[in-house]
């Protein structure tokens, strides 16, 4: 049974949380374009008597401070606000009204739950210390967390710890989880242009076929994972796009490949650009082609502070019960919450939103992703309880 003072108040907020989430779901905005979303957040905070900061992180990020009854340290709670450039296919009456853009990663729920946590903390303020709310743009693309930090989101007052939640369709509403230590992989980008010499398909010996060379490059890159890295160090290298050629009877002069590289180990990650370059250049040289390789370092790995996880565990146990909370395995998915975790102790947990009876079973980023809104009060209460719990440990 729940043992948090926020439980009853969170349940009473259910209809508000659903209304907020559905409003945001109908009006999704992409990275650094979350203007209406930020205005909506600012208006809800004003209704609570909470003043939001001047715009941060390119103009759409916000912070706000919920003051406790007594002075003390500050803990932060973060929600990301951006949507994805993917058409929605849920047919829900609250489906996206913006063509080609939808909240298919649950950031609408994250924002609604942080507004809910703000409401709870305003009604039941901490006895000691303060809670900073971080409403962040551009998690999906653009590193909004890094820009929030650069604009002082972890300062004035200084933040001692950060908590966040991410919805997870693997688990039903009422279940939560957290990873101890490395939680989300570093997510880097890879772009390769293979350049050959085009020609007529009937005379391959007079050309350098960029398509067949690119195929060899794709195959060879898999050896980076299977034969050039420690098998005990998780590593994923995926080529997601191949573009090239003009017609079935034309040998393509060039082919463009793009992909992603995911890893946890910092030393391994630093060596990957050189290793990928060496493998690619070796393959294309063997076939008389050339290549241009662009390796882009993306989000670093997200490391949940092991010393902070027990505070999250206690908060989850208070909200959903200890039997409904678990320690989880890491994921190779990227998360720009990593930037907060590089600077202060931080933990991002998972909140179950699966409902098989209603068909809410699709993974994140799927056109038919949707979630069980019964999880929203749990998420709001969990965020508030984690903040209160951390402040109690500091007292």
Q: Quick one: tokens of 182? A: 């490395």
Of the candidates 299, 324, 345, which is a domain's last residue?
Answer: 299
Any idea which residue has 């320690």 for tokens? 327
Q: Which percentage of the chain shows pLDDT scores above 90?
A: 99
Say whether both 67 and 180 belong to one domain. Answer: yes
**Is 70 exceeded by the pLDDT of residue 329?**
yes
Has residue 165 got a pLDDT over 90? Answer: yes
Whole domain around residue 214: which residue ranges? 186-299
Does pLDDT of 215 surpass 70? yes
Together in a domain, 368 and 284: no
Section 373-377 average pLDDT = 98
Q: How far apart are CA 36 and CA 368, in angstroms?
A: 24
Look at residue 2 and tell me if it is in a domain: no
For residue 370, what pLDDT band results from cuts at 50, 70 and 90?
very high
Burial class (CB in 10 A: 0-12, 13-18, 19+), 11: middle
Q: What is the DSSP string of 95-140?
A: --SSTT-B--SSHHHHHHHHHHHHHHHHHS--SSSEEEEEEE--SS
Q: Are residues 36 and 170 in the same domain?
A: yes
- Which carries the bigger pLDDT value, residue 172 or residue 141? 172
Q: How many domains does the chain have?
A: 2
CATH number at residue 208: 3.30.70.360
* 3 state SS of 334: coil
Cα torsion for 322, 360, 5, 3, to the nearest 10°? Answer: -20
1 domain residue, yes or no: no
Give me the mean pLDDT over the 217-229 stretch: 96
User: φ, ψ for residue 65 (rounded to 5)?
Assistant: -120, 125
Angle at 145 between CA 300 and CA 4, to 5 degrees: 100
Q: 297: part of which helix (H) or strand (E)? A: strand 290-299
- Asked whether residue 212 falls in the same domain as residue 177, the answer is no
Q: Looking at the predicted structure, is the pLDDT value of residue 222 above 70?
A: yes
- Looking at every residue in the chain, the average pLDDT score rounds to 97
Q: Are 72 and 395 in contact (CB under 8 A)?
A: yes
What average pLDDT score do residues 155-180 get? 98
Judged against a pLDDT cut of 80, whether residue 2 lies above it is answered with: no
Residues 36, 88, single domain; the answer is yes
CATH number at residue 25: 3.40.630.10
Of 299, 325, 345, the last residue of a domain is 299
Indicate if 378 and 255 belong to the same structural domain: no
Flag whether 332 is in a domain: yes
* Interval 109-139: pLDDT, tens: 999 999 999 999 999 999 999 999 999 999 9
**Same domain assignment for residues 16 and 158:** yes
pTM score: 0.95
Are residues 210 and 160 both part of a single domain? no
Whether residue 19 is found in the same domain as residue 96? yes
The answer to the question of residue 130 being in a domain is yes
- The answer to the question of residue 355 being in a domain is yes
Query: Which tokens belong to 281?
Result: 């250049």
Residue finishing a domain among 251, 273, 299: 299
* Mean pLDDT across 240-249: 98
Residues 43, 171 within the same domain: yes
Residues 348 and 273 in one domain: no
Radius of gyration for the chain, computed over Cα atoms and rounded to the nearest angstrom? 23
Do 133 and 234 reside in the same domain of the chain? Answer: no
Digit-coded pLDDT (tens) for 334-357: 999 999 999 999 999 999 999 999
pLDDT value for 331 = 96
- In this prediction, residue 1 carries a pLDDT of 67
Residue 237: C-alpha distances to residues 191, 197, 233, 296 (Å)? 12, 27, 13, 13
Report residue 395's pLDDT band, with 50, 70 and 90 as the boundaries.
confident
The predicted-structure confidence for 21-45, as pLDDT tens digits, reads as follows: 999 999 999 999 999 999 999 999 9
């Amino acid at each position: 049974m729940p043992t948090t003072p926020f439980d009853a108040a969170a349940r009473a907020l259910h209809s508000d949380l659903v209304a907020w989430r559905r409003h945001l779901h109908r009006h999704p905005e992409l990275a650094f374009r979350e203007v209406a979303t930020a205005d909506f957040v600012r208006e809800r905070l004003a209704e609570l008597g909470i003043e939001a900061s001047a715009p941060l992180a390119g103009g759409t990020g916000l912070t706000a401070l919920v003051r406790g009854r007594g002075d003390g340290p500050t803990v932060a709670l973060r929600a990301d606000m951006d949507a994805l450039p993917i058409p929605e296919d849920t047919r829900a009456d609250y489906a996206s009204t913006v063509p080609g853009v939808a909240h298919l990663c649950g950031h609408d729920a994250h924002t609604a739950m942080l507004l809910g946590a703000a409401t709870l903390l305003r009604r039941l303020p901490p006895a000691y210390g303060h809670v900073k709310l971080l409403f962040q743009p551009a998690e999906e693309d653009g590193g909004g967390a890094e820009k929030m930090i650069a604009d002082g989101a972890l300062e004035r007052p200084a933040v001692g710890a950060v908590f966040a939640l991410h919805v997870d369709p693997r688990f039903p509403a009422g279940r939560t989880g957290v990873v101890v230590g490395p939680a989300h992989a570093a997510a880097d980008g890879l772009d390769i242009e293979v350049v050959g010499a085009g020609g007529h398909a009937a005379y391959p010996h007079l050309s350098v076929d960029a398509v067949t060379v690119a195929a060899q490059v794709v195959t060879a890159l898999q050896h980076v994972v299977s034969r050039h890295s420690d098998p005990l160090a998780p590593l994923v290298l995926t080529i997601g796009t191949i573009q090239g050629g003009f017609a079935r009877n034309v040998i393509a002069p060039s082919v463009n490949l793009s992909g992603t590289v995911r890893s946890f180990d910092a030393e391994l990650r630093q060596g990957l650009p050189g290793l990928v370059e060496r493998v690619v250049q070796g393959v294309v040289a063997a076939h008389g082609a050339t290549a241009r390789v662009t390796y882009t370092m993306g989000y670093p790995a997200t490391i949940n502070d092991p010393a902070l996880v027990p505070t999250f565990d206690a908060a989850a146990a208070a909200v959903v019960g200890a039997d409904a909370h678990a320690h989880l395995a890491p994921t190779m998915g990227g998360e720009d919450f990593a930037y907060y975790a590089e600077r202060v102790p931080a933990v991002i947990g998972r909140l179950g939103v699966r409902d098989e009876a209603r068909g809410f079973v699709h993974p994140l980023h799927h056109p038919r992703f949707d979630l069980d809104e019964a999880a929203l009060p749990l998420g709001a209460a969990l965020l508030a309880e984690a903040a209160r719990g951390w402040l109690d440990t500091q007292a």
